[in-house]
A and B are shown apart, each in its own frame.
Chain A
């Protein structure tokens, strides 16, 4: 399948990345108010991978993700006000305040949940792929994971099982070089390629620039096509970089676990600025269009925060309900 990208599509990708960036900057600028009272992991700097995947898969496809999932949720089409309300712990949140930033879900667009535990959602995504295979539907299951999850046993178990059963699953690894403050050098052997290792297990593997949304989209499209066409599990390693602290709204270069030079090098490769520069030369009246798009996004995001702020907390008694599903009341898939 040929995946040519029109200029309009490129502009849409840019806007999608900017939308995620502005949402997360909105969280960062308000976090100190103390109203978002949960661990919150921002993807600022890593928007391209989420947007590339979101552009390739459709709302019937499944996705699961990690503690750092705002971008994946939004790119998959997850409801924005419900996400912000969830981070505020409100009754209108996507998990009714029981999950918070690390537990996002929107089943109406196939976004089936996220987990705070490293590697935990990988088997869930593989199980969704198994259900697709058993049901014979034409869906794929996308699993977002980080480089840290590559060190979890569940990852190897899952790639192996997915290969044995030739499941329609795409593993999307965002390698941002750090697990909290621990660099790759203390976690994985020097010089060993994650993608090649996974290839050796039996999954068709790719490696790509996670800050170039156009290239990431092409790679993802090929992998998703393969998975959908019965070629079995696909694995993509995207190199990228988180700008802010592991958990929370601040920059943390002062801690010294990574160098300012390294940070600046990656910031120069801002996925949004890169595409913006490219499109500025190829779209007529780009600045005007970009400005208008930003205004629309800012309005949408402001509304989402207002919705969250104005929503009520769930009644305290709700903490004691919903531990078990009740026959006939369970949500249909």
Chain B
């Protein structure tokens, strides 16, 4: 049965389903049992599954990730939660040197079935250290899977698959998606990792996107459709391993590629997609591939400083216009930055 639920509720649903299906699933992280339950995503878990399996922890990011690795070596499936990705940077040793390596460097003797839930922020003054989209770092590390879903149904299905995957999975939730709604089926609705979805069909240009930027891409595509440009939007969902075939198939038809990325421009995942497509499909492209990512500066805090700072529908439409030799200013004027520009919608009143 389908129900319309929020992205946060879909994640909460996935956690309940996973913990009900398998008593080796445990869940911990700062605040998972507090009254707010990590934006509602962990509510009810402790009450339903008990404090042995669901518990709050000390503020020790590195140790607590290694603890997850160790627990997984004895057959548990830990889900570790962080309310911002930026705090998780303290755990990079355990992520890169332990979680990503334990299976490979011991010749397959063990596996590390852990899931790391990270939330990334944007706007409302999240600033330099509450807004970093560092999925490209994680995607760079062999042995890690990286998931960044856009819709509530994908969030649920991919979180379930992440939890039951025998490998470490970095599962990244964009804060601006937590209140978005969509139809979600009940029960065990696993969606395979490593498969992109086509969020919109079109034959004129391929827009590769993921997470919140897919929302902006869909807005841009509506506008572009009125201008007789039909976008194919590929929502990657999983960044590593990446579904190259779906991208190649689409670009082969549309012959134009724009890649969106909520991370910094240099070294971005978008850069990797552009590079691979340019290398393998150079002759088929009508024009140079393009990318839109965050500028190579830390995200500032001030409302004033973040005006025009983010990639949004207008920028996307303008970039597509350039590919067709059309006037980008018209797209920017037609899709102006919303006011206020630093919230996803009225539901978000801060503080984080």
Contact = CB atoms under 8 A, between A and B. Distances in A.
A203 interface: no
A115 B66 CA distance: 12
Contacts of B104: 98, 322-323
A95 B109 contact: yes
Interface string B80-99: 00000000000001100110
B298 interface: no
B295 interface: no
A157 B63 contact: yes
Nearest to A132: B74
Contacts of B103: 322-325
Interface stretch (A6-14, A158-166, A225-233, A296-304): A158-166
Given A98-B106, A105-B106, A126 B63 contact: yes
Interface stretch (B37-45, B53-61, B341-349): B53-61
Given A323-B142, A326-B166, A332-B75, A93 B69 contact: no
Residue of B65, B94, B110, B112 ringed by the most chain A CB atoms within 10 A: B110
Contacts of A157: 58, 60, 62-64
Contacts of B33: none
A324 B167 contact: yes
A236 interface: no
A161 B102 contact: no
B111 A330 contact: yes
B229 interface: no
Contacts, number: 161
B66 A113 contact: no
Interface string A133-160: 0110000010000000000011001101
A322 B108 contact: yes
B105 interface: yes
A128 B73 contact: yes
B325 interface: no
Nearest to B143: A323
A327 B166 contact: yes
Nearest to B63: A157
A298 to B, nearest CB: 28
A116 B74 CA distance: 21
Residue of A93, A127, A153 ringed by the most chain B CB atoms within 10 A: A127
B105 A130 contact: no
A126 B64 CA distance: 9
A112 interface: yes
B58 A123 contact: no
B17 interface: no
Interface residues of B, number: 43
Given A322-B108, A325-B108, A131 B74 contact: yes
A95 B76 CA distance: 22
Contact of B93 (A93, A154, A158): A154
Residue of B69, B103, B106, B166 ringed by the most chain A CB atoms within 10 A: B106
A112 B75 CA distance: 12
Interface string A312-333: 0000000000111111001111
Nearest to B78: A127
B197 to A, nearest CB: 21
Interface string A257-290: 0000000000000000000000000000000000
B97 A117 contact: yes
A330 B166 contact: yes
B351 interface: no
Nearest to B99: A124
Contacts of A324: 103, 143, 145, 166-167
A161 B142 contact: no
B107 A93 contact: yes
A232 to B, nearest CB: 15
A332 B76 CA distance: 11
Given A117-B97, A154-B66, A157-B58, A99 B106 contact: yes
B167 A103 contact: no
A128 B98 CA distance: 14
A69 B225 CA distance: 64
A96 interface: yes
A243 interface: no
Contacts of B166: 324-327, 330
A120 interface: yes
B68 interface: yes
A120 B57 contact: no
A313 to B, nearest CB: 13
B31 interface: no
Nearest to B75: A333
B73 A127 contact: yes
Nearest to A153: B62
B71 interface: yes
A97 interface: yes
Contacts of A112: 70, 73, 110
Interface in A79-126: 93-99, 103, 105, 107, 112-113, 115-117, 120-126
Interface of B: 26, 52-53, 57-58, 60, 62-76, 93-94, 97-98, 102-113, 142-143, 145, 165-167
23 contacts: A94-B106, A94-B107, A105-B106, A105-B107, A105-B109, A112-B110, A113-B73, A117-B97, A120-B66, A123-B62, A125-B70, A126-B63, A126-B67, A127-B67, A130-B76, A135-B74, A154-B63, A158-B60, A323-B142, A331-B109, A332-B75, A333-B73, A333-B110
Given A130-B76, A322-B103, A333-B73, 5 more contacts: A98-B107, A105-B106, A157-B60, A158-B67, A325-B103
7 nearest CB pairs, A to B: A127-B70, A123-B66, A96-B107, A157-B63, A157-B60, A325-B111, A131-B74
